[in-house]
Structure 1
Amino acid sequence: MDWDDSISLQRKEMNLDKYWFGVCHELSNNKLVSLLSLISSTIVSAKPYNIPSLGLSGGIFLKGGGTKTTKAAAQTNAETPKNDYEIFFYNQTLDHFSYTPESYTTFQQRYVINSKHWGGAKENAPIFVYLGAEDSLFDGDVADMSGGLLTENAPRFKALLVYIEHRFYGKSVPFVSFQNAIKNATLRGYFNSAQAIADYASVITYLKEKFSAHYSPVIVIGGSYGGMLATWFRLKYPHIALGALASSAPVLFFHGALPYNEYYAVVSKDFKQASKSCFHTIKNSWSEINKVASQPNGLSILSQRFKTCSPINGSEELKDFISGIFMDAAQYNSPPKYPVTMICRAIDRASNTTDILGRIFAGVVATNKTKECFDTRQNLTSGTESDGYAWQRCSELVGPFGERGDTMLERDNSTLSNFTNGCINSYGVPPRPHWITTYFGGKDIGLVLRRFGSNIIFSNGLKDPYSASGVLKDISDTILAIHTVNGSHCLDIVGASPNDPIWLVEQRKRELDVIEGWIKTYYADLSSFKKTK
C-alpha cells in the first residue's frame, strides 16, 4: 500500500466528522452512563498554582505582556493547520493500565501530519514525531513548529512529520469540556504523563501499521515538559522510538532528584549579568511593595502605580505578576529582542526620574508598551489550560523545595508539607512526590543511564532557568548533552532566522548530525538483520 492509498483509507476509517462524543457508539450504553455518572458526581474545585511556566515559546506574561485579553481575542488562534498539515483524530483508550470495563472507553485524540517531504514506507524513510505538551497543538506546538526545526529539515531526512496532542489539552479532552474535566476527580485521574506517553505509543504504532512503515525509524522530539516526555518515551518504548531529542527538558526538576530549586537563582544570575543596578533595584522592590501595601489605601495606590486592569486584592497578587514577567524574560531571553536586556534597560533609564516602584513599572511596560492596563489575574483564571499543568504539578510533577544562591526574587519558603495541604484543598488528593523518579528515574541519572539508555540528546541553553534541572554533561557516547552558554528555553527547536548567532546555528547542526548518525546506524543494522532472516 502506498502513501496515497494509506492516507485515503485512514480518513475513511477514522471518520473525521465525529467529535469525541461521537466515539460513544462503540460503547455499551451502560458503560458510558456509568462512567459519565461517576464523572458528574465527583466534580471538585480546582485552583492553579503560581509556578514557573513551561512551554515551547514565551510564557503567558511575554506572550500578552500580562495584558487583559478578551475571550474573543484568545480564540483568534486558527484551529486549522498551515499549508501541508492535515488534522486527524485517533480513537484513544482512556486507561492503558487497567482492564475494568470503563478503561476500554475511548476518546478522540488530535494529531497532525505533514507528509510533503516523506520518502515513503518503501524507502523506510524516517518518521519525526513531536510529542505535544501542556497546550493545544495550535496554541503552542504546531503554531511554532510548523516553521521550526522539524519542518525546516524534513527535506533533508525525507521525513514524515507527526504532531500528537497531549491528552486533556486542546481538542483531546475526554468526553467533556476542559473546564469540566479539570474539576472532575474521576476523569482527572486519567490525566498523567504515563497515560500520555502510552497514548503516543498507540498513535505511532497505529500510523506505522496503516502506512506499512514497519521499518521506518521513529525519532521523538519534545520541548520543555514535552522534552521530558520524549526522554521517558525513549526509555519506556525503545522498540518504538529509535531516539529522542529533548530540548530544555528539566528531567531532574523533581523532589528527590535535586536537593534544591535553582530556577530562581538562574533568573537572578541572568539579570545580574545584564545589569547589576537592575538586579539590585528588583531585589529591593519587594520590601517597598510590602511597605506601600501596608499603608491605608496602599493596595489602591499600587493598583494605580502599576495600571492594573482591576484593583489588586493583595500585595502577593502584584508581586506574583511582576516576578512572572521577570521569570518569563529569563526563560525566553532569546535574540533579537533579549527581553532581560530590554527590561533592565528600561529600569536603569528610569532611575534618575522616578522612585523604585516607578523603575519597576518601567520594566513592566517594556514588555508591552502599547497596553493601557495590565491584568494581574491573567494567570489565575480558573478553567484555563494553566490549570492542567497545575494539576500535573499537584499530582506527580512535584519539584524540589528550598533554594540556594543569590536571588533577586523574594525567597520561596514553600515546603512539601504546605504544598501538600494546598493540593488537598484544591483537588482532594495529596501529591506523590517520589512517583516520577520511581517510575521514570532521574536520581543518579548519569550512573543509571550510562549502561542502560541510548540515543538521547539533551539540549539546553544555560540562560534558561530550567537548565539547572537539565542534563548538562554527556552520559555516554549516545546520550549527549548539547548546550550553549547564551541559549534560552527551547530556542534550538524553533524556527531558524538569518540573524541567528553562530552558536545557535552550530547547536542545531550538531543535533541534526547526531540524529542523522542514529538513522544511518539503524539502516546498517536493518540491512544486516534482513540478511539473517
Structure 2
Amino acid sequence: MKRKAQLMLLFLILPFIKGSLFNWRYKKYIISKNVKNNYKDSISGTVQCSEGYINQTLDHFDPLVKGSLQQKYYVVNDFWKKPDGPVFLFIGGEGALSTYFLTDGLITEIAETHGALILGVEHRYYGESLNVDSLKLNNLQYLSSQQALADLAEFHRVISDKYSLGPNNTWICFGGSYAGDLSAWFRVKYPHLVYAAVASSAPVRAVTNFEAYNDVVKTSLSDTTVGGSQQCLSNISSAFKEIQLYLDNNSLDKLHKDFKLCSPLKSANDYAAFLSNLADPIEGAVQYNTNGTSNSIGYICKLISDAQGSPYERAIKLNDDFLMATGADCLESSYLDMVQMINDTNVNKTASGVGERSWTYQTCTQFGFFQTCDNNTQCPFSSYMGLGLYLDMCRDVFGISPNQVNASVNFTNLYYGSDTPKGTRIIFINGY
C-alpha cells in the first residue's frame, strides 16, 4: 500500500500553531527538523531527565463524574539548588512532550544560572497522557484548556508534596504556541500558584476565520531579510492562480497527475484540501523558518526561483521535493479520507506524535484558528481555501455546527480576556 502524505494542517509545541486540520505528516517532519537544528550550542549531553506519572481527575469541575487518567511528567534536577531553588514548569501542548525541550536550550541555560528544578507536564489527551477510550466522542468532552489548567494546579500540589516545595520555591511557567496560551492563562487563573509566566508566540486571541495568517505569509515571502523576494512571492502567487484555473476548467486529471494526488478530486472540499496541503510547506516555512534546512523561507524561495519552467511547473517541483522529504508517495487530497483519519480513536497512533483527533476537537470547540484565503484578497494562494472546509470537518467528525464553533471561540475570548488578559508578570515573546 502506498504511503500517503496525510497532510493535516496545523499548529504544536513550537512557535505558533501551524495548522487547523491538515498536514500532520508535515508537522511531524517540521518538529523533527527543529529538534535537530535548534540550540546547537547545547549542554543536553550531560543533563539527566527522569519521568513519572500522576493520577489526574478526569473532570475537575464535576465531582459526580468518576474516572481518572495517568498524566506523564518529566523532572530535571541537575541544576536544582535545594531547598529554595525556583521551579521552572514547562507546559506541553498539542502533541507528545519531548524531553528535548527540558534538556536543551533557553530553559536549561537559565535553570543552570538560577539553580532551578525543571518540570515538564504533558497535556491531557496527547502523547501518553490518555486512556484507551479517551479519543471516543463521549470522552472528548473532558479535553479543554480549562481542564488542562486544572491539571497543572493539581500537578503543582502533587509535586510540592513529593519534593517538599514551599513558599520559598518560586514557580515560573513556560510554554510556546498553544502551550504559550496555557502558560499565560495559568498565571491569570491561578496567580497564587505561579509567580510569573513566559508565553512564546502565544495566540491568546481565538479566531474562527484566521485570514490574517496568510497576510504574514505573503509579507514574509517577499522580505529579503528572511530569505524571501518579490520574485518568490510572484512565482508562488502565479502558480496558485494557474492551478485554480485548472480547477475552474475541470482539468482534474492533469492536476492529479502533475501533483501526484493520492485520489481523484471530486468535491469542493477536495479542492480545498488539495490546495491547503500544497500550500502547507510554504506556510510552514514561514512559520518555523529554520535557517539552513528545507523548512525555511530561503530554501523555498531558492527552489521555486531556480527551478526551470513556468511558475506552475515550479510548484510541481516544490511538491515533489516535499513528498520526497516526508517520505510520501502521493499528496493527500480526499476530504472523506481526512474525515476518516480524524475519526480514528486508536490511541496507539497518538503516543509517538501529534494528536490529530485531539487537536482538531480543540480547534472546533475552543479556538478555531482556521487559516483561510476565501475573503482575503492579499492571500498568495487560492480562494478555494475557504472556511467551509474546516466547519464541515467539525460537523462531520464531531457533530459541531458552525454556530457552535463561533460561540465556542467567543466564549474562549471572554473567559481568558482575548489579547488583553488581566494578568501580571507575564512575558509575551513574539516575532514577525
Q: CA, structure 1 residues 260+239, in 2 after alignment: closer, same or farther (shift >3 Å)?
A: same
Q: Is the 8 A contact 2:10 2:27 kept in 1?
A: no
Report SS of the residue matched to 1:181.
coil
Tell me whether 1:254 sits opposite 2:226 in the alignment. no
Report SS of the residue matched to 1:55.
coil
C-alpha distance in 1 between matches for 2:327 and 2:46? 33
- 2:216 is aligned, of 266, 269, 283, to 266
Tell me whether 1:106 sits opposite 2:76 in the alignment. no
- 1:455 is aligned, of 415, 425, 429, to 425
After superposition, residues 463-478 of structure 1 pair within 5 angstroms as: none
Q: Is the 8 A contact 2:197 2:427 kept in 1?
A: yes
Q: Is the 8 A contact 2:12 2:93 kept in 1?
A: no
After superposition, residues 1-40 of structure 1 pair within 5 angstroms as: none
Deviation at 1:185, TM superposition (A): 2.5
After superposition, residues 104-143 of structure 1 pair within 5 angstroms as: 105-121=67-83, 124-138=84-98, 142-143=99-100
Match in the other structure for 2:122: 165
Q: CA, structure 1 residues 225+375, in 2 after alignment: closer, same or farther (shift >3 Å)?
A: farther
Amino acid at match of 2:212: E
Q: CA, structure 1 residues 428+455, in 2 after alignment: closer, same or farther (shift >3 Å)?
A: same
Match in the other structure for 2:137: 185
For each residue in 1:1-21, what CA deviation from the matched residue of structure 2 results, as whole angstroms up to 9, or x when unmatched? xxxxxxxxxxxxxxxxxxxxx
Deviation at 1:374, TM superposition (A): 4.5
Report SS of the residue matched to 1:240.
coil
Tell me whether 1:395 sits opposite 2:351 in the alignment. no
How many residue pairs were aligned? 375
Higher Cα radius of gyration: 1
C-alpha distance in 2 between matches for 1:61 and 1:188? 25
After superposition, residues 423-502 of structure 1 pair within 5 angstroms as: 423-429=394-400, 430-431=404-405, 432-442=408-418, 445=420, 449=422, 453-462=423-432
C-alpha distance in 1 between matches for 2:191 and 2:377? 38
Q: Is the 8 A contact 2:73 2:120 kept in 1?
A: yes
C-alpha distance in 1 between matches for 2:103 and 2:384? 38
Deviation at 1:284, TM superposition (A): 2.1
C-alpha distance in 2 between matches for 1:119 and 1:434? 44
After superposition, residues 270-285 of structure 1 pair within 5 angstroms as: 270-273=220-223, 274-285=228-239
Deviation at 1:149, TM superposition (A): 1.5
Tell me whether 1:377 sits opposite 2:341 in the alignment. no
Match in the other structure for 1:529: none
Match in the other structure for 2:150: 198
C-alpha distance in 2 between matches for 1:369 and 1:49? 14
Amino acid at match of 1:428: G
Report SS of the residue matched to 1:150.
helix
For each residue in 1:149-175, what CA deviation from the matched residue of structure 2 results, as whole angstroms up to 9, or x when unmatched? 1123321111111010000001111x3
C-alpha distance in 1 between matches for 2:11 and 2:176? 13
Report SS of the residue matched to 1:119.
coil
Report SS of the residue matched to 2:199.
strand
Match in the other structure for 1:96: 60
Q: CA, structure 1 residues 306+413, in 2 after alignment: closer, same or farther (shift >3 Å)?
A: closer
Q: CA, structure 1 residues 159+368, in 2 after alignment: closer, same or farther (shift >3 Å)?
A: farther
Gaps of 5+ in 2: 1-5, 19-23, 32-44, 345-349
For each residue in 1:16-45, what CA deviation from the matched residue of structure 2 results, as whole angstroms up to 9, or x when unmatched? xxxxxxxxxxxxxxxxxxxxxxxxxxxxxx
After superposition, residues 487-526 of structure 1 pair within 5 angstroms as: none
- 1:363 is aligned, of 306, 309, 318, to 318
- 1:61 is aligned, of 4, 12, 26, to 26
C-alpha distance in 1 between matches for 2:382 and 2:313? 19
After superposition, residues 301-340 of structure 1 pair within 5 angstroms as: 301-308=254-261, 310-313=262-265, 314-337=270-293, 339-340=296-297
C-alpha distance in 2 between matches for 1:253 and 1:295? 37
C-alpha distance in 2 between matches for 1:419 and 1:306? 23
Report SS of the residue matched to 2:134.
helix
For each residue in 1:187-239, what CA deviation from the matched residue of structure 2 results, as whole angstroms up to 9, or x when unmatched? 11000000001101111121112211112010100000000000000000111
Deviation at 1:404, TM superposition (A): 4.9
Report SS of the residue matched to 2:61.
coil
Report SS of the residue matched to 1:434.
helix
Deviation at 1:83, TM superposition (A): 5.2
Q: CA, structure 1 residues 63+134, in 2 after alignment: closer, same or farther (shift >3 Å)?
A: closer
Normalised by the size of structure 1, how large is the TM-score? Answer: 0.64
Gaps of 5+ in 1: 1-47, 67-80, 463-533
Q: Share of identical aligned residues, percent? A: 26
Amino acid at match of 1:441: G
- 2:381 is aligned, of 404, 409, 433, to 409
C-alpha distance in 2 between matches for 1:165 and 1:438? 26
CA RMSD for the aligned pairs?
3.1
Q: CA, structure 1 residues 395+373, in 2 after alignment: closer, same or farther (shift >3 Å)?
A: closer
- 1:244 is aligned, of 192, 197, 216, to 197
Q: Is the 8 A contact 2:221 2:232 kept in 1?
A: yes
Q: CA, structure 1 residues 335+300, in 2 after alignment: closer, same or farther (shift >3 Å)?
A: same
Q: Is the 8 A contact 2:303 2:318 kept in 1?
A: yes
- 2:48 is aligned, of 63, 68, 84, to 84
Normalised by the size of structure 2, how large is the TM-score? Answer: 0.78
C-alpha distance in 2 between matches for 1:322 and 1:437? 31
